[in-house]
């Protein structure tokens, strides 16, 4: 069982993550030229990106991908990239060459998935191996745009796939697949609020839990679970 780290609120949770992130970045960049990460959108990005932007990190050596993206233009309010751009990329002055957004605005989602997959492989290898993945959790246990019973939940040969029937709007999305997320050197799963407590309790304490977050934690090389006090209620 993965023992979670539980702190009082999301601000302190963000600071806890920032400490782990900085330590991991220092370790990786001490032996390699680049640190390759994948970030989420949503409430986790809103809480964590400003804290990341304040870190003394050599962002010229950090390659940033996203765990998923909505099929919208990069300046759309629903875009995960747009959120990160405002809260992290611009404030931290991340070089354009290190930013690897998924092209969700392309009309052909399959083409968009192939382009994102090729970009990921060119940086992280084939099969891709990320240094750190940060993932939020939905109340239904979904991670990225991987929902129970969806295409990204089972075996996937491609690292990035198109999702056309997401139960959470918008329905059209791009997502990293479960094997890519699980194969990262460090996987950090974050949940806020009492509404997330049941699914996290199930993922952490039920051996055969069938949600995407439970499967990710079972398969991850080095998982870390960060919860605020409400999400950690057992």
Q: What is the pLDDT of residues 123-182, one digit of tens each?
A: 999 999 999 999 999 999 999 999 987 766 667 789 999 999 999 999 999 999 999 999
pLDDT digits (tens, 9 = 90+) for 82-103: 999 999 999 999 999 999 999 9
Question: What count of Cα atoms within 13 Å lies in the side-chain half-sphere of residue 193?
Answer: 8
The label of the residue with tokens 């970045």 reads 25
- Sequence spans of domains, the chain: 5-228
Rg (the chain; Cα; Å): 16
CA 82 to CA 88: how far, in whole Å? 10
- Cis geometry, peptide bond prior to residue 170 (ω within 30 degrees of 0): yes
Q: What is the pLDDT of residue 149?
A: 79
pLDDT at 1 over 70: no
Q: Which CATH architecture has domain 5-228?
A: 3-Layer(aba) Sandwich (3.40)
Does residue 132 contact residue 185 with C-beta atoms inside 8 Å?
Answer: yes
Distance, in Å, from the CA atom of 64 to the CA atom of 45, rounded to the nearest integer, reads 13
Mean pLDDT of the chain: 94
Strand-pair category, 68-70 with 173-176: antiparallel
H-helix segments, 2-145 = 10-29, 42-53, 80-84, 109-124
Q: What is the pTM of this model?
A: 0.95
Q: What whole-number distance in Å separates Cα of residue 201 and Cα of residue 101?
A: 32
* Phi and psi at residue 179, to the nearest 5°: -60, -40
């Amino acid at each position: 069982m993965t023992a979670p780290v539980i702190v009082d609120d999301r601000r302190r949770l963000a600071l806890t993550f920032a400490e782990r992130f900085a330590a991991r970045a220092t370790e990786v960049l001490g032996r390699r030229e680049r640190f390759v990460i994948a970030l989420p959108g949503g409430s986790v990005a809103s809480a964590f990106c400003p804290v990341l932007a304040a870190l003394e990190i050599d962002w010229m050596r950090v390659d940033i991908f996203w765990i998923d993206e909505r099929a919208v233009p990069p300046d759309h309010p629903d875009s995960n990239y747009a959120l990160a751009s405002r809260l992290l990329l611009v404030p931290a002055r991340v070089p354009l060459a290190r930013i690897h957004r998924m092209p969700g605005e392309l009309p052909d989602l399959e083409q968009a998935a192939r382009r994102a997959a090729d970009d990921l492989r060119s940086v992280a290898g084939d099969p891709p191996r990320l240094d750190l993945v940060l993932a939020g959790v939905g109340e239904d246990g979904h991670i990225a745009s991987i929902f129970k019973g969806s295409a990204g939940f089972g075996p996937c040969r491609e690292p990035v796939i198109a999702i056309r029937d997401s139960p959470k709007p918008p329905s059209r999305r791009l997502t990293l697949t479960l094997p890519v997320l699980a194969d990262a050197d460090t996987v950090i799963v974050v949940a806020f609020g009492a509404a997330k407590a049941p699914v996290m309790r199930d993922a952490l304490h039920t051996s055969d839990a069938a949600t995407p977050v439970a499967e990710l934690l079972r398969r991850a090389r080095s998982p870390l679970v960060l919860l605020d006090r409400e999400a950690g209620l057992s």
